[in-house]
Amino acid sequence: MDPVTLEDVKRDPEVDALIVKGNEHLGAMGFTEHSHRHLNLVAKIGYNVLEHLGYDRRLAELAAIAGYLHDIGNVISRQDHGQTGALLAYRILTRLGMPAGEVATIVGAIGNHEEEYGQAVNTVGAALILADKSDVHRSRVRNNDISTFDIHDRVNYAVEHSFLRVDASRRTITLELTIDLSISTPMEYFEIFLTRMMMCRRAAAFLDCHFGLVANEARLL
């Protein structure tokens, strides 16, 4: 049997329904966008992290699949969505014919990506954390009324550009941000995203790399 690919997962009607409805549910609760845009980006970044660091291409593909599926648990509840998402992914990937070892790697990554308690438990999980937590951008804000922005809306909206740079020769992974300082400040970014940045630092260390944060060309980490 051919390996299960990211494209196989994307074509699955059940996966698509879970993504669409999960994003709708988060929108009803006032959370930022978690649509196909976010999932495709996380899948791509996760793949690139491992590919640039010289890992096996199949492992990079598993990171991409984990990135695409990591938020499907939102269809059930935002709370503990990593664990519910892992259970949903287990059933879907098993149905698609993925070997048990690969399934176990992916569900372990998904089940440990939440910032409240997550940590890198395997290489795929480390790439997933770095990819997911680096997606900060104004396009994720759903509130159209700037005057009613809370700090999460304001910080996300202030980020005009974000890029996760991987330097294999220096063993560094750096999140580069361009922030509109008239909307928010790097201090506010740290206020709400400090836990995420600590997760990224540990995830990078799992990959034998150093994590850095640069905002408006100034190094903060």
Query: Order of strands across the sheet with 159-167?
Result: 159-167, 172-179, 210-215, 218-219
Look up tokens 């299960």; give the residue.
Answer: 4
**Rounded alpha-carbon distances, angstroms, from residue 143 to 52, 107, 153, 196:** 36, 32, 8, 23
User: Please, what sign has the CA dihedral across residues 66, 15, 86, 111?
Assistant: positive
**Residues 96-130 pLDDT 10s:** 999 999 999 999 999 999 988 889 999 999 999 99
**Residues 138-153 pLDDT 10s:** 888 888 777 788 888 8
CA end-to-end span of the chain: 45
Output the pTM of the full model.
Answer: 0.94
Q: How far apart are CA 128 and CA 65, in angstroms?
A: 10
For residue 211, report the phi and psi dihedrals to the nearest 5 degrees.
Answer: -95, 135
Evaluate if residue 13 carries a pLDDT over 80. Answer: yes
